């Protein structure tokens, strides 16, 4: 994730999915691991289509966020989303991990996710851990800075598997059933009894996993 992407249409879809999960499963805390990367000022954060997954309260929140950002561009930062529950009437707290992610360094990656695990453990339970890389899962070889590896997914899931859940952002790749293949790849790293759900919106999907009820 990058700060320049904050409050675009994909944020409406991702937080609409999260809002639905909070309501359905009663998560008390959402821990967003942003895997934060430096802005490139490429204009990707300007998407304005109306997502197919759209909670009206979430949409209104981000419409107001865009107005604030247009008046003061320095306000475009991911951490602002901690105010969303109050505005959207959600009974949860959002914790945003805004540490820079130097994902090209494999020695750096494990300590990064270990800290995510510590954060989920210290939060009010049950927790929804949200991994928010630029692109999603790594399908082949070592993960890129824009990707999360299945082994890292397993590490974070283990910290929430009791009563919590795990959500992963996945961007489309050049595969016909890319969302389902990403789901299945993640499941290979997780316990066999895990429940899996896919929420798809155009060229992005959100992969949700939790221990069986």
CB 102 within 8 A of CB 108: yes
Q: What is the model's pLDDT at position 170?
A: 97
Identify the pLDDT of residue 180.
Answer: 95
Q: What is the arithmetic mean of pLDDT over 183-206?
A: 94
**Per-residue pLDDT tens for 70-119?**
999 999 999 999 999 999 999 999 999 999 998 777 788 999 999 999 99
* pLDDT recorded at residue 43: 54
- Residue 28 CB burial class (10 angstroms; 0-12, 13-18, ≥19): middle
Q: Kindly give the residue spans of alpha helices, DSSP state H, lying in 6-105.
A: 9-25, 56-71, 84-88
**Which position has the higher pLDDT, 45 or 118?**
118
Dig out the tokens for 35 from the structure.
């895997």
Phi, psi dihedrals of residue 26, rounded to the nearest 5°: 70, 35
The pLDDT score that the predictor gives to residue 176 is: 85
Q: What is the pTM for the complete model shown?
A: 0.94
Q: What is the mean pLDDT of residues 178-207?
A: 95
For the four alpha carbons of 76, 82, 86 and 88, in that order, the dihedral sign comes to positive
Q: Which pLDDT score, from 0 to 100, does residue 42 have?
A: 62
When the candidates are 1.10.3470, 3.40.50, 1.25.40, 3.10.450, the CATH number that belongs to 3-210 is 3.40.50
pLDDT digits (tens, 9 = 90+) for 120-168: 999 999 999 999 999 999 988 889 999 999 999 999 999 998 899 999 9
Judge whether residue 49 has pLDDT over 90.
no
d(CA 135, CA 83) in angstroms, rounded, equals 25
Q: What is the pLDDT of residues 2-36, one digit of tens each?
A: 999 999 999 999 999 999 999 999 999 999 999 99
């Amino acid at each position: 994730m990058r700060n320049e992407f904050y409050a675009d249409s994909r944020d409406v879809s991702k937080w609409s999915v999260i809002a639905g999960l909070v309501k359905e499963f009663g998560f008390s805390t959402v821990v967003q691991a942003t895997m934060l990367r430096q802005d490139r000022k490429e204009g990707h954060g300007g998407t304005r289509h109306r997502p197919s997954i759209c909670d009206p309260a979430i949409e209104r929140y981000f419409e107001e966020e865009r107005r604030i950002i247009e008046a003061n561009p320095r306000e475009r930062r991911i951490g602002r989303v901690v105010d969303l529950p109050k505005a959207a009437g959600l009974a949860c707290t959002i914790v945003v991990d805004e540490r820079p992610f130097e994902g090209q360094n494999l020695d750096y990656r494990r300590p990064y996710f270990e800290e995510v695990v510590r954060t989920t453990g210290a939060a009010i339970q049950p927790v929804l851990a949200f991994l928010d890389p630029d692109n999603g899962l790594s399908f082949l070889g070592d993960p890129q800075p824009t990707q999360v590896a299945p082994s890292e997914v397993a590490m974070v899931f283990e910290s929430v598997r009791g009563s919590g859940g795990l959500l992963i952002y996945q961007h489309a790749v050049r595969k016909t059933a890319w969302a389902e293949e990403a789901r299945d790849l993640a499941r290979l790293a997780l316990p066999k009894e895990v429940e899996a759900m896919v929420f798809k919106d155009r060229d992005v999907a959100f992969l949700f996993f939790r221990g069986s009820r």
